[in-house]
Structure 1
């Protein structure tokens, strides 16, 4: 493979600096990281969002661990924002959204954002960022005592500001990112409970629910974890809770299962079976003859519902293919990874800015049906970084050796 072949280690290495340079523009001098538009300018109509701040902190932590100069201050900038701007000093935990003046926009406490705080705090702690250990300690305590439900083996979705009332909705998306955060937290802290909880989530959402639905993952549930297959039927393109199956999440779960299995001394045989089955179903449901990219959502028969192509779906597809190839050695996965890297290079990489286009139409033109702008670098940076690392332990513990 030549150095300029899309997806080669050299190609990925050359692609990381321009992506990071774009990501640096999100730093807000007054605190936190802002939502960027397509050109890399702050989107003034967007407030400060917890998930963006946590993801950017994680990205800059990996960059620092890999030896990129001048990124540790950006990690500490993110840690400070999560410790002050977003932090609920009265009840603990973090607000999802705050105004530029520091006012709270929404007092609810959500698993999705808190999972990314835990992920970012663990990566920042591994990077040696000031204040990161205290953030990690609190994030771990909050997740363990407010979101984790031992009797269901999964996490609650949302609670009131004072933690007294829990929403009845349960979601697979937040639990998926919780698995990711628990993997990293377990590696950084050495506490085996995090990996045990990650496995419990996978056993139920994938081993039970996805398996019983033909490896299409039910995303939405009631408080008893009964699937809600018609949830958001009228809002099919919702960015966080779309109707139907989300094949990009199947790729992501597939990759996480492979990583979790690699981290275990005695992985369960069903884990690789499930990872390969999720991957195969997602490929079958999203691949359209003559159309590059992969569809965002499908119905329960595998027919595309939202056909827009998202950069994060491509990132997770190629990451799953790379992980499965590393785990199995099967040429199928290497072939698909090569195909998708070429499509990423041709259609998604924005040569003018170094970032990736976040959403394209089925004709591969820029689209804003679901997203606008380029909010964060998390999926793209993972795609450009993880394939060069061992499957386990997670990136913050191994990336330094590759820097």
Structure 2
């Protein structure tokens, strides 16, 4: 039976699924595999694409990492069993230049980067999305836990139904144009258990595959080892000082420390616990202080991607909720635009351990909508 031209299919197009081409970004994990299998079962013209992001024989790759050799094999198996074409694209150079190099340089500058956001922004939702358009796809689907909804001003970004799996923090830089082309079929699910149940229903070989953890190119979460490999000689020793500049000890490289760190400082014997409150890579200094010194209320933010209905600079203030870490809940804040892509964010209640290099993501306090976000920096 032909689809009524006024009736939309599950991806939002007024044509039958068989006439709707969708490129599915397949990482080889259970989430993207379920998306591909579900769309194939619904009769869509599915094309699976997996990115090879780094040399799988190199020390950077780790077992079980996203886009590692095993994952490419798993994605290919899912495509074969579900009967749709699958392609592997070599994005190794792009990934290194757009993601890995910046990750290393940011750490050397004393920041705490989030490379997964840059990967989505500069590789998956840029180059891969362009490839999907070249393949004459109507849209591109991913396994991210986030929701896309049509609003009066166009496509809107909304948090996932499952707050535990919500990935909105990592997708704040998705532009309006990209959002019009993207689809997130898992965003409405209430739990990961539902996804695994679907994988079992489709008899997928990855149904019981564990979730990938940490950053894909950082083995065992050892950031410093990766930085030293990428930038030999980067871990130069220096001093640990208090907020008045008094030397309390020595360290083996600023790259081994992050804002808010308490353990592993090697300066025991003091009356009160001390935390890393600032990193000074130019002087090779780790600055420590009491816990209250970590509290921050004013955050400089730049490279803002604004997804609100009104232009960003039309208001002097935006009252929103913000996340400054992926693991923290949104907190009430006021955004004061300083330009089209720069602002000062005032937190109503202070946060501890706000670090340059992290994202500050904007949320509607009265709904599940995301208004975009920007990058925290040191300020002027």
TM range (shorter): under 0.3
Provide TM-score, normalisation by structure 1. 0.23
Provide TM-score, normalisation by structure 2. 0.24
Q: Highest relative contact order (Cα 8 Å, sep 6+), 1 or 2?
A: 1
- Which has more strand, going by share of residues? 2
- Which has more helix, going by share of residues? 1
Larger Rg: 2
